[in-house]
């Protein structure tokens, strides 16, 4: 069920965005689990997505885990005479590190992540198949925090010899947005907040001192 859902969502977003980007051409998306990096037929181009974020599901022990190290391989071909293009896609899988015996299962991604990844794919199509400026690549999809270092022995992409960088080594859009939103709060926390606990104790002590001085003054007057 996880695999069919992922494939259906990928194709849905892909067809919508390619039709909007290149309405005069017809593009198809084919899921090819046997795709190999740098093994290209004549006329084909390659795009490697190295910073995707996805959730993996083990079909053996039902363990699930989040990873920002998902690698996706695309092979692209455009027949200019027929005005038809084809994209072959392979999502590299990860082996479950809980049981260690499950088959490499396909990852499941949120639709918002798929949309960002398809935007990157279309940017690559513009550049490599049409010779056009594709615009900016979106890298914020890898901004999810994982629980530890990437374990290459369980990663299919690493076993294929693909060295992919960690998201922390890049400036991510999510991090920029988050930092920009959190900065004023940090300044507020470090600034003078007259309703903080420390200031509350200060004002309470000051009031008690004033009351004490007034009481002492009145007592000395009566004496």
Please give the share of the chain, as a percent, with pLDDT higher than 90: 33
Q: Residue 202: which pLDDT band, with cuts at 50, 70 and 90?
A: low
Average pLDDT of the chain, as a whole number: 75
Task: For residue 40, give both structure tokens.
Answer: 């290209």
Question: CA-to-CA distance for 210 and 190, rounded, in angstroms?
Answer: 29
pLDDT in tens, 146-176: 556 677 778 888 888 887 755 444 434 444 3
What residue has token string 């900016």?
136
DSSP per-residue string spanning 115-182: HHHHHHHHHHHHHHTS-----PPP-GGG-PPPSS---GGGBHHHHTT-----GGGS--HHHHHHHHHH
Looking up tokens 């009566």 gives 222
Give yes or no for residue 218 having a pLDDT over 80.
Answer: no
Is the pLDDT at 142 greater than 60? The verdict is: no
109 DSSP β-pair partners: none
pLDDT at 8: 86
pLDDT bin (cut points 50, 70, 90) of residue 126 is: very high
Say whether pLDDT at 89 is over 90: yes
Q: Which helix (H) or strand (E) holds 19?
A: helix 2-21
Whole-prediction pTM value? 0.68
Give how far the C-alpha of residue 138 lies from the chain's centroid of Cα atoms, to the nearest Å: 9
For residues 182 and 203, the model is more confident at 203
Listed residue (99, 47, 103) closest to 77, CA to CA: 47
Q: In the prediction, which pLDDT does 46 show?
A: 96
pLDDT at 15: 97
């Amino acid at each position: 069920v996880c695999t069919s859902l992922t494939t259906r969502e990928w194709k849905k977003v892909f067809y919508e965005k390619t039709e909007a980007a290149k309405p005069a051409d017809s593009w198809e998306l084919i899921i090819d689990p046997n795709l190999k990096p740098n093994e290209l037929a004549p006329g084909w181009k390659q795009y490697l997505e190295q910073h995707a974020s996805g959730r993996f599901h083990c079909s053996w022990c039902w363990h699930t885990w989040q990873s920002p190290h998902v690698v996706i391989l695309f092979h692209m071909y455009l027949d200019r005479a027929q005005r038809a293009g084809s994209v072959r896609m392979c999502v590299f899988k990860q082996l479950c590190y809980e049981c260690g015996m499950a088959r490499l299962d396909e990852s499941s991604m949120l639709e918002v992540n798929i949309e960002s990844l398809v935007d990157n794919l279309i940017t690559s199509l513009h550049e490599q198949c049409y010779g056009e400026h594709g615009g900016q690549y979106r890298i914020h999809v890898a901004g999810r925090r994982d629980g530890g270092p990437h374990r290459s022995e369980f990663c299919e992409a690493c076993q294929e010899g693909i060295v992919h960088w960690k998201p922390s080594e890049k400036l991510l859009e999510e991090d920029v947005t988050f930092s920009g939103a959190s900065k004023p709060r940090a300044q507020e926390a470090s600034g003078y907040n007259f309703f903080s606990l420390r200031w509350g104790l200060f004002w309470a002590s000051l009031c008690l001192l004033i009351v004490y001085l007034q009481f002492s003054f009145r007592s000395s007057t009566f004496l």
